[in-house]
Copies of this chain bind each other. A is one copy, B any other.
Amino acid sequence: MKGVSIKDIAKQAGVSPTTVSFVLNGKAKEKRISEGVSKKILKLATKLKYKPNQLARGLRTGKTKTIGLIVEDIANHFFANVAKIVEEEADKYGYKVLYGSTEDNLQKAKGLLEVLEYRQVDGYIITPTVNLDKDIEALKHARKPMVLLDRYLPNIPTNYVMVNNFQGAYDAAEYLMQQGFEKIAVVTITSEQIQMKERLDGFLAAMKAHRSGFPRKMLKKLSFAATKEEAIEEIKAFITSIPNLDAIFFTTNYLGIYGIESVKDLGLQIGEDIAFISFDDHDLFRLYSPGITCVEQPIHDIARNVIQVLMNELNNNTNQINQVVLPATLVKRGSCSKRLSGKSAS
């Protein structure tokens, strides 16, 4: 039950715990421990299956070799995939990951931050909620290694890794116009989340670049707190409120999923009666008939960059700020093939 300690090895090797510690930490050369002693200790360590007690080490060094991962929702396809890669990559560096979901709730986010601080994680990967500025500022001030994920706080310069939301949405809108769609609507959420704003901005910029403008009534904002049923009702009402609507863009995957459900409920055919694009890819989008065109985020690259940036901080603790913005890819599928018939969607 009890693990073997440095003392046990010291006793068996006939040396002091100090020497054992030096050798086991690879400081044999530096501390000029003799070859023989060094070898003997190493052999003993593997024989006894010595595992350093992380708690004791952490207490002494202040390092826990643990990182905290705060996402919006670990069950969401995007974040679940990020979590997987983050864990794999962190493992390579000897770090383990503690996680939690904010549900986009400020209080939950603060709570998670508090617990992780308390747990003395060495570094943080954070999907910030709106108004988390003060807490992030505090972390930054304490010089805690940290990298934001999926979004950033415009008023606080920090490390972050995210997709180019503006470009992704711009491409989507432009593509819809190239395909010849005339009445294009957009559905997003009310939240002030920066990545959502940028997606909307990108969409609107494309509309303005190619059209005379964008009427406010073609834009629908849903509350993040709305239940699925409420959201679907609102989307349905929105769609039917626009005569001759022929294309619609959803700014994130779960909205896109609600959108599919709404369109189905209305008895409309995606790709026939209405063109459809969503931000983020999903199994559903890939396999739906027709396939749903989407703006795909490079999840693997995002996760790998996050770890890269964090490890860099952890090991060098430079003051340099790393802000990584990765390109989004428009994945074209059947949902946006040009509608040839003249019939109205509503």
Contact = CB atoms under 8 A, between A and B. Distances in A.
A120 B73 contact: no
Interface string A153-187: 00000000000000000000000000000000000
Interface string A76-105: 110011011001100100001111110000
B64 A75 contact: no
A99 B87 CA distance: 8
Contacts of A77: 75, 77, 80
A287 B257 contact: yes
Nearest to A85: B75
B264 A283 contact: no
Contacts of A257: 283, 287
A119 interface: yes
B75 A118 contact: no
B100 A98 contact: no
For A1, A81, A88, A284, the residue with the greatest tally of chain B CB atoms inside 10 Å of its CB is: A284
A84 B74 contact: yes
A6 to B, nearest CB: 14
B118 A54 contact: yes
A14 interface: no
A97 B98 contact: yes
A132 B139 CA distance: 41
Nearest to A118: B51
A83 B264 CA distance: 31
A80 B87 contact: no
B99 A97 contact: yes
Interface in A117-154: 117-120, 142
A212 B64 CA distance: 62
A-B complex: 5 closest residue pairs judged by Cβ atoms: A80-B80, A75-B84, A284-B284, A55-B59, A55-B58
